[in-house]
Amino acid sequence: MRRTLLLSLVVCLVNIHQAEIIDRCALAKLLHQEDMDGFEGYSLSDWLCLAFVESNFNISKVNENADGSFDYGIFQINSHYWCTDHQSHSENICHLECQELLSPNLLSTIRCAKIIVSGTGGMKNWAAWRMHCSDRPLSYWMTGCHLG
C-alpha cells in the first residue's frame, strides 16, 4: 500500500513539472486566427521561429536572467518591461501578471507580443530572433501546416 501511494505521488509530481509543448502547426493556426500573420510586417514563420528559438514551443517555460528579471512563456516575455511577477521591478507595459503568459490559451501572450512588436524595434526586441530568424529564409516553418 505504501509503495503504491509513493509511486502515485511520484507520477503526479512528474506530471506537474512536465513542459507544456504546443505543436508547431497548432501554434501557426492559433496565431493565424489571432491575426498575427502580417502583423507589423511579420509573417507566421517569424512568430514560429521566435517561439522555437525562445522556448522550443514550451508554453510553460520560465527563465531567470542575470539581472533578476524573468522571461515567461512561449515567447519568453521579460518581467522587467512587459509584465509584473512581483519579484522584480517592472514597467508592466502589457498591464498583466507574468503568470498569464503561461496560460495554454496564449491570448494574453499574443496580446502582449502585439504590444511589443508595435513599439520601437519590433521583433528585434528579442535577441534570439535577431540572431536566428532575422534576414533568413523562414518559409519552412509553415511546412505541412494547414490553416483552414
Going by C-beta distance under 8 Å and a sequence separation of 6 or more, which residues neighbour residue 117? 39, 40, 42, 123, 125
Is 46 a catalytic site residue?
no
Marked catalytic residue, from 23, 40, 46, 54 = 54
Residue pair 145/47 in contact (Cβ under 8 Å)? The answer is no
Is 100 a catalytic site residue?
no
The type of residue at 34 is E
Marked catalytic residue, from 35, 37, 67, 71 = 71
Active site residues: 54, 71
